[in-house]
Structure 1
Amino acid sequence: MSIKKMLLCAIVFILAAGLVPGVLAAESGEMKLGVNDRVTDIRAVSVEYTFYVPVRVLAEELRLNLGGTPEDLLLSGETGSLRILKKGKMIAGDGTEWSLTAFNRGGRLMVPLRIVTLFGYSVSYNPGKYLLRITDGNQTLDDNAFAEKFKDKLKPEEPPLPAAPQSAKPAPNPAKPGPSGKIVYLTFDDGPSATTGRLLDILDKHGAKATFFMLGPNIERYPGVVKRMAKSGHGLGLHGVTHVKSKFYASPAAALKEMNQDNADLKAVTGRSTKLIRTPYGSKPYFTKAYRDKVLGGGYRLWDWNVDSLDWKYKSASDLIYNNVVSQVNKMDKHGVRPIILMHDQKATLQVLPRILNYLHKKGYQYEIITSDLQPVNFWHDAR
């Protein structure tokens, strides 16, 4: 290889590893990320020769602590710490500052892969072998051996072939949301209940997915519908055990105990556990910092809402519930904010739910579930 080509490869390596701040532009590809001697599920996105990864997923993979707020995130570990500020810079533990380009992708905060060097990791990049790898000195394979061993996993998947043309175009399904790119999160608290099966039927009819924040005793009482939720791809979350303010908020330890018990009940029925929680009556004012430090320190993700249907208040007054949801969703839409709609798993809500889903369809919304890798939305703006 000529000296000119060697220099060019070195420059590409530095840029691709994210050691030079990138200008945000169109994404130009993904690569699977290796960590020491493993290929992870993390997909690094290339933007202007800089690779970006979801900060929360990266923190979990490297066992770094993630705290703070969306405006001032704090990553910390045994070998260092890093503040990531929304205004476009990062500050290392020794006070050194750098400019930083970060962006949101599907609700995830994407940060340059280069930040791992501040925690003792090195970055290797070889596009010819589809190799993007971070190591901390505990690996046993060198880069060539790693690339050879995992070549089938590292190689990007081939794009699917286009579907064959059809002689007759199928009729459009009115239940399917339009391709507008707008997303809504439907959430239901307090279930499951005797009418959850009917609720799931309505969601299925409208092609909608929802996230259910459930109570432990109700999970034990209605295991069949919980299994159906899991099988159908709905989101599974925790709402505690007692739903009694004096018991759940008796102490931070009491709150954590209820969520852990709720999680154990969920796993006993579905074989799955979850990190998603919603506290009884919402997180304000009772779920203060002491509670959040205790419960979120246990790995849970706190979610509230930004659209309150007030179905718990209006019960069977369907028009009031419907108008309340519509007005709030319209406000979210004007500000470009994804609606997170609070409803309750109760019989009265079934009467108005089809109208709400029809409205969301007409507005072009697509239904997604809440997952643990999304940045939590809560009243405290606690990003943990």
Structure 2
Amino acid sequence: MNGFMDKLSEKIMPLANWLGQNKYLMVLRDAFMLSFPLTMFGSIIVVIANLPFFSDETKATLNTLLGSGQSATMSIMTVFVTFGIGYYLSKSYEVEGIFGGAVAFSSFLILTPFFIDTEAGEISGVLSLDRLGAKGMFIGMLAAFIAAEIYCRVTKRGWQIKMPDGVPPAVSKSFAAMIPAIVTLSFFLLINVLMTGIFHANLHDVIYEVIQKPLTGLGSSLPATLIALFFVQFLWFFGLHGQIIVNSVMDPIWNTLMLDNLEAYKAGDKLPHIITKPFMETFTVGLGGSGMTLAAVLILAFFMKKKQYKDIGRLALGPAVFNVNEPVIFGFPIVLNVTILIPWILGPLLVTTVNYLLMAAGIFPAPTGVSVPWTVPIIASGILATNSWLGGLLQVIDFAILFVLWFPFLKTLDRSKDIVA
């Protein structure tokens, strides 16, 4: 078994290391984290305005009064992501980040239709919220990366207006950014002219139909989710942060699905997706961190006989309640511990499958699209994510499944003679 794992790690680790250190994936991760405080504020507003014990009339009133708090944050997440990509990618090239962010965002807007089709006809001079949110996510990311690349490369070539030394820094930087910004924005304006003038289309709708819909459809499926979870667990087994590596690829898809659900939830429509970012945070990480190890920590703390295991479990219990499980991953350890490889990998896959099927059958509600911090403890996070006590109950069922799965493997370790009690 050890020999097989060694050979497998030799094949997988180079790819994992490349993903973990890839500049563009790191920029994308940081850009989404830029929007995190804002989406959390929007989520809090949605939760307050839609508490389950409020009447429909009260909910409608609160949504009218508080709705701008969500519309100005979660509903326009693409705005913050595009700016963040431009900012962080420019910083990686050691170019002034604030101008890179502004140019990236402006490039995205150049490609964005400034009209809305209604039953009464076309209304021009306005922006649709969905194009600044879920529907515009992929074109926003694509435009921001290309814009930042062009801007930085032109800047690095020295195509700048240099001001005398006595000019204030803010003025000097603005003039230095002028030519790179003009070149970049001209490129995107030309693309938009070609799309609208020759092909009578807009790149938003083309990217949405050709790239975004197929990718989100794939990402919302159970098989794709299980594959992603498998690699999270597999990479963690070798001591690599699987969550960061895999999520840097999957987060754009899961966040887009989250925004789709949120818009449907606000409109009172059926939620279109089960797999979303809140689903992954609440019903995987939300049960003790990566690998859902809260049940394993409790077994270590209260059901093991050997003192070393008990001590590890009790030390890890506090962090595990808030879904931080590095103490047990590296202290138990889970890393390279072949004896508990089966529950470590199988647990998340089994629980996720059960949750998906129960939600698909309508027995338990899917997450509404509200973003819940991954550090919120079990039960509370389930209730907040689904706006129903059933979400908390489902987490309790998940915990029971994991407890039963982990118990025999941990007790086998407890009976072994590798560690003296």
* TM-score, with structure 2 as normaliser: 0.25
* Higher RCO (CA-CA < 8 Å; seq separation 6+): 1
